[in-house]
Structure 1
Amino acid sequence: MARQGKSFQVGDRTLSVTNLDKVLYPETGTTKADVIHYYLSVADVLIPQITHRPVTRKRWVDGVGTEKKPGEVFFRKDLEDSAPEWIPTGSVEHKSRTNTYPIADEPAALARFAQVAALELHTPQWRFGRNGQPRNPDRLVLDLDPGEGVGLAECAEVAFWCREILDDMGMATFPVTSGSKGIHLYAGLDGTYNSEQVSKVAHELAKALEADHPDEVISTMKRADRAGKVFLDWSQNSAAKTTVSPYSLRGRLTPMVAAPRTWEELEAKDLRQLAYEEVLERVDQGINPISDLGADRLDTYRSMRDASKTAEPVPAQRPSGGDKDQPSFVIQEHHASSLHWDFRLEYAGVLVSWAVPKGVPLKKNVNRLAVQTEDHPLEYGTFEGTIAKGEYGAGEVSIWDTGTYEREKWRDGKEVIATLHGRDDGGLGGVPRRFALIRTKGMGDDSWLMQLMKDQPDDHANPEPEETLSVADLPGPMLCSVGKPADVTLGKKDGETWAFEMKWDGYRVIAGVGKNTVVLSSRNGKDLTDLFPQACELTELIDDEAVLDGELVALDEQGRPDFSLLQAVLKGDDEVSEDAELRYMVFDILRLGDRSLTKETYEERRKILAEHLAEGENVVVPPNYTGNLAAATKASSQLGLEGVVAKRMDSTYLPGKRASAWLKLKTRQHQEVIVIGVREGKGSRSGSIGSLLVAVPDESGELRYAGRVGTGFTDSQLADIETTLRRIERKTPPIDDVPAEDSSDAWWVTPKLVAEVALAGHTRHGRVRQAAWRGLRQDKDIKDVRWEV
C-alpha cells in the first residue's frame, strides 16, 4: 500500500482515505490506520470466507468508546452512496424492502470498509450464485454462547461434543473463538439443502446435546434460563441471519478478532480470545486453521494453466455455485500422453474430476482405478478441442457423454455414489448408470476405485442374476510347521527338492474369483472382502474362475512390507502415510474353473499359476527360489522380513491342515500371544496402558502366563487397544500362574484376542524376552497359538 497524498493504491484500485490517526479503540490507542493495515494484512485468509456473500457492516463512526461511555454503533446493510463504483453488489429482497449489499472479493473493498469504521463484518451462510440469486448455504454454523457463570473452557467442552456428532455425519468442523465470549463452529456443506433444512438439522443437533448434557447445554432462546450453561445457538443458519466473519475485528473495548483455531488449541487450559496483533502474527506465520472452509477450489487448476496459451476455459473469478437441483456431469475422452477418460461431477461450484485410465466401467463388479485430479471450472463441461503441445494435458479432448446426475452420497475424500443420466447417443448407452467411487487407503495418493454398482436403476426391467460366491465356499489355507535350515538341507540327501518363498509380513488370504466378483477369507474364515476392494481386479487378471492363496501386505515408502502399517491401513487410520500401498501376493492356486488342483504337486500348481494369472496394479505373483536357501534368506533379509517358507516341490495342498512339507524358517523371531490383562501406566503413560500381560498355551493346550509386552506401541495404538480390551474386561484373572508383582496393579480381559510380538527369545520358564508389540492378529484364532521361538 503506497501513500499518494490522501489516496492509497491498493492493488489496481485507488482509495481515498481520511483521518488515519483517528483513534477507534481508545483503550489501546488503535487507530483507523491500524485497522486498515489489519484488514489488508489478513485479506488473503479473510476474503475466501466472505467472497460472494452479502456483507452487513457494524460501524462505530467515532470509535468503540470506553466502558463508561460506549461509542455509538449501527448496522449497515446497503452500500453507502459514497462508496466507489468498483465495489460489486448483490440485492436481497426482504418482506418490506430490497437491500443492495456490497460484496468483498478483493483487499481494496476491505480497506474501504475500514475507512468508514466498519469494524465488524457479518455475513450469512450462503453466497450469491452466478445468476445473482442467493444459493443454498455452503456451511453450517453453531454459536456456543456462555451464560452467566460459564466461560470459554466450558464452551470448548461443548465444542468437542458437537464435533463428535458432526464427525459422525461426515462433516469436518472448524472452530473459531468469537473475539467476544464464546466459540463459533463451522462445517462445510455441498449446497444440496436449503437454509430451512439446515436450520432444522442444527436445531435437532442442539436439542440432542441438551438432552445428553442437560446441566451444561441449553438450546432454547430464553436468556433467563441460560445461567450456568452454554447456549447452543443454531438459529444463525436461517437465510436472514448473519454471523461475524472469521478474521473480522470485534467492536469490543480492545481490538479482538473472531479467530480460527485448531482443535489442539481448544484443549489448552489457558484458552482465551485473541487480540488483533496475535492474529497478525499467526497469519504471518502461515497459520490458517480454517483454510479448507471457503477455499478457492480452482487455485490449483489456474496455477497449472496459462490462459493465453491454452484453449481450455480459465475463469478469473472463484466459483460461486452451480445448479444444485440438477448438477451436471461430463465424461471426456482425452488423448494426451496416454489415452484416458476424465470423469467430472459438479459439486460445490466446480467439476470434481478423476482420470480413469481404462475407461468408465460398464459391467458390474468391475473395479477401475480413478485418479483424482484438480477441480475444474463448470465451463469445462462443454469443452472439446485441442490442448496445445507443451501445455499441461496436451492432446485432443472430446465429450464421451454428458448430462445431469442424482447425488446419492458424497463424503469428501472418501466416497461418492451417483446416478448419471447421459445423452441418448452418449457413451453410457442412453440409460441411467449408478456408479460408486471409493477412496481406499493404501492405493497411493489420490487413487480411488470406480465401480458400476450391482443395484442399477433399470434392473427391474433387465434383471441380472448375481453370483452367490461367498467366504463359506472357500477352504482354509494349508499351514506351515516350524522348521530349521537343517530340515531342508538334510532332506536333499534323500532326493527331496525344495522351493523357497518369502515369509510375507501380512494377513494370509484365500481369494475366491468368480465371473464378476471376488471374495476374500482370512486364515480363520473371516470375510475380508470389504477391506481390500482392489482385489476385484482379479476378475480381469485370470482367465477363469479360481481359488487362490496368498498374503495381503502393506508396502512402506521403501516398498517393504510393514505389518503395523497394514493394520493401520485396514483400520482406516487417518494418520497413516498416504504412501502406503496394499498388495495381494499370490503364491498358490487351489482351483481353476471346475478343476481342483489340491492333489497336484506344488511344482505343477506354480506353473498353472504363472500361465493363467497376470499381475495387476494391486496383485503380484512373487518369485520363488528353487534349490537355493541362501539366496532366498538373503532376499528376505534385504526386505526386512522374518524369514522364508520352504515348500517341498512334490507336496500336495492340504486345506486347513498343518504339514511338514511346508516349513517356516525364521531369521527374525516373532511370536503369537494371547492378551490376558493390562498393567496401568506410570509417568508419561499415566492413565493409559503401561504394558500388556500375555499368555501362550503349552503343549497340552493349557494357557500359561508368558510375561509382559511394554514397548513398540504408538500413542494411537495404545488408545485403540484400550478401547478394544475394555469391551472384554473381566473381574478375575483368566489363568492362575501370573506372579504377584505383575498382577498387583492389573485389570483383566477374556483371553480371546491374538497378538503378535517381536522378541529376543523366551526363558526356560516360558516368559518372553524383550518383547515388542507388532499388532493384534484378528485373522488368527487362539487355538492356533503355540510357542514358535
Structure 2
Amino acid sequence: MSRTQRVTVEGRTLTLSNLDKVLYPATATTKGEVLHYLASVAPALLAHASHRPATRKRWPDGVESTPFFQKNLDASTPAWVPRRTIRHTSSSNDYVLVDDLATLTWLGQTATLEIHVPQWRFGRTGTPLPPDRLVLDLDPGPGVGLPECAEVARHARDILVGMDLEPVPVTSGSKGIHLYAALTGQHGELTSDAVSAVAKELARHLAAEHPDTVVFEMKRALREGKVFVDWSQNNESKTTIAPYSPRGRERPTVAAPRTWDELDDPDLRHLELDEVVERFERDGDLLAPLLAGHLDRLEPTPQRLATFTRLGTYRAKRDPGRTPEPFGPDEAGSDARTAPGADAAADAGTDSTEETPGAPSFVIQEHHARRLHWDFRLEHEGVLVSWALPKGEPTDPGRNHLAVQTEDHPLEYGTFEGSIPAGEYGAGEVTIWDAGTYELEKWREDAEVIVTLHSERRGPRRLALIRTGGRDGQDANSWLIHRTKAQPDDAGTPAPPEAAAPPTSPGRAPRPMLATTASTGELDRLDPERWAFEVKWDGFRAVVTVSAGPDGDPQVRLTSRSGQDLTPTFPELAALGEMVRPADLPLVLDGEIVALDGQGRPSFRRLQQRANLAKPRDVERARRRVTVDLVLFDVLEVAGSPVADRPWTARRATLEGVVSPRPPVHVPAPLEGTLAEALAESRRLGLEGVVAKRRDAGYRPGRRSHDWFKVKHARTQEVVVVGWRPLHAGAPGEDVRTAGSLLLAVPDGGTWRYVGKVGTGFRDRDRRDVVAALQEVPSAPLEGVPAVEARHARWATPERVAEVGFAGWTSVGADGAEARLRHAVWRGWRPDKAPADVVVEPESGAARNS
C-alpha cells in the first residue's frame, strides 16, 4: 500500500502517511484507525476544544516510545492551520487552535494523540475571554481507583449543585475522573484566579468532610489510599486533556463523557476508541450542557437582538436545565443553548445561526410525543414559524390536512434531533423528516402562506397554508395545509396542474439507517415471525446510487455514512452498474464494503489497507494486494421513486428483483430460523454477529432505530462465585444485601484462580437474589484478588456455578498478574454444574472475530 496519500478535508489538502502504522501495540490500533476515530467524534471534540490554545502530546513511534509535548507551531505546520500567539514574560508561543476537521486530521497525521486545552477561549479579536468552565481533576492515589473517584465525584456534585453549577463527569482515560461545570450567569464574570480559588476552597472542604478518602494538598506523599482533588487546572496557564481526546496509554482509551448513573456502577472503567464512537452515534454529546459556558459569551448581533422577543412563549414552556432543545438568543443577544448536533464550536462573537444571504430554510420534524405528529417550520423574520400537522404533509391535492399553529421556535431548532424527557413539554423523540430551503410566494400574516419547498430528500413541492380559525376563541390557531394542483418540476419551475410529477433525482445520498444494540430482554422478544436475521458485516457502510450518465451508461456512486465519496477508492464496485436494469434507474441501495481474509471472512483490518485512497495509481497498487466486495441488503429508491416507507419484506423482495448479483457484488439471503439458530450459523461461519430487522418496519434514513437490533457474538465462560461487592456502602451499621458485582474464579490445580468480576447484565431483583443464594464466609477462599476489588468485599463459599458472557481475556501481566475476563456480562446460574466441572473454554473462531 502507498505510504503517502493526499486527501482533501473541508477544502484543505493534506498528505497522510503510514496509515497502517501501529500506534497502540497492545490492541494493534493503527494511525488510520485513530484518524477514523477523530473524524467520527469531530463534532463534539471540536465543540469543546475550539478557540482554545492547544498543547499537543505526540507519539510518532507509538505509545511504547517516549512522547513529547509541543506548544509552538513549527515550520512544517500548514499555513491554513488556525493559530493564536500567547506572549509570556520572556517568550512568545504560537499555539494551534483545533477549530476544524482539517486541523484535527492534520494533528492525527502528526501522531498527536493527546490534545490539552485551558478552561478559557480566545474571543473574536484574539483577546482571551474569562473562563467558561470549572474543572476538578479527581486523581486516585495508590490503592484506590475509579470507584473511589466516583464516590468523591458524587460528594463534589452535591456542593456544586448548591452553588448553582451542574457538573458533568468525564472518565479521563488515564486514571481518574474530571468534573466539568459550565460558568454562566453570575459565574460568567469570574477571572481564572477567582475560579481557581473557588475550586481550591471546594477541594479543601471535601478533604475536611471526608478526610479518609480525599486529599487536596499537592504533596504526593499524602495521596496513599485517597483521591486527590486537583483544583489547580483552573489556573489560566494550566491545561486539561480535551474531552473526546485519545490518551497515549497502553490501550486506546479516551477522555469520555459519562452519565451519573454510570458512575454508580462498581465496575466503572475507562472507555476505548470504538466504544466512544458507538456511544456518540447513539447518545450524542453527553457533555453538550458544558457548551452553555462559552455560548454565554457570544457577542450580540443585530439579527439576534431583533428575534429574542418572539421566543418568549417558546422559552416559557421549557426549562433549559431539563430539555436538550435549543433556546436561541437571550435579551443580550447571546446564545442560551445550541442544539445538539449544531455547530457549537462557533467563534466567540460569531453567530452560528445568523441569517445568511440566500433562500430561507424549512424543516419538517417527526415528533413521537403523546400523539405522533409532524412539525412544519418555516424560517421567517429571524425565527421558525411553526405548525403541528397531526396527519403530516398532504400528498393529494384533493385532500387538505389540519395544521395547528404553535409558538415560534429559534432558528437552531432546524437542526434539532433528540429525546425530550418525560414530563417536559412535548416529551418524546424528535427526528428530521425533511429539510431544505423554500421560495416564498405569499405571506399574509395570520392569514395565508404559499411556498415552494426545495428538498434533496423528497423533491420540490408547492404548499399553501390557510388560516381557518378566528383570531380569538378555541380555534384561533387552526389552519389547513394544502398541496396545490400546480406543482414544480425538478428545477423548481411550476408545472401545469395536469402535468404528472416526475420522479425525483437521487441528489445527495441519504444517511443510512442504524441499528441499536439489543438488551437481553429485547433479544428474548425477537420472534422470527416478526423479525428477520441478517449477517452483521464488518466493513465500511455505503449508500450506493446508480444513475444514468450523459451517455446513458449506468454510473455508480458510493457514499459513506459521513457523506464521503468512496467511489474513487473502490473503482471495481462500478461493476454493479452492469447488474441492474436501465428502467430501474436512478436506484439507491444500502450495503457494506468488505475485504475478505483467506478464510472468506470480512477483515476490517485488511480493509484498512484500502481506506483513504483517491489517486488512481495508489488505488490500483492497493487493489493488487486487497480486493473488496460489496454486500447489498436494502433498497431506498427505485426508478426515482422512494420505497423506504415500505416494510422490510417488500424492500427485500424489491432488492432481489432489481439486482442480478455476481462477484464482487452480493445479495446474501437472510439467516434462517430463530435468533439463536442465526447466531449459531453466524458463529460457525466466523462472522461478527447478526442484525435483526423488524419485517413490517420501514427504512428510516439517518436514524438509529429499535426496528433494527445488532447482536454481536459474546463468548461465554462458566465460573465459580467466590464473593460479592455491595452496590453501595450504606449507612453506618446498615447491612446492604444488594450486589454491585460478583467476584469470580475458576479451578486451578486444587485451588482457585481469580478471574475478575461481573457487574452488568443484572436486573435489580437479580442483584438481591444472587446475594441470597450465596453462603457467606468470614474470609476470602482464595488469594490473588487485587486490593481495590477486595475492598468492601463479602466472601462466599465457592460452591455456586454461574455463566457469564465476555469479550475475551486480558493478557498475562509483566508483573505475573493472571489473565482476567474482559467486559463480563451476567447470564445466570448453572445449577446443572458443579465447581469441579468448570474449565476455561477454548477460544472459538467466532469469538476471535467478534
For normalisation by structure 1, the TM-score amounts to 0.41
TM-score, length basis structure 2: 0.38
Of structures 1 and 2, the larger Rg is shown by 1
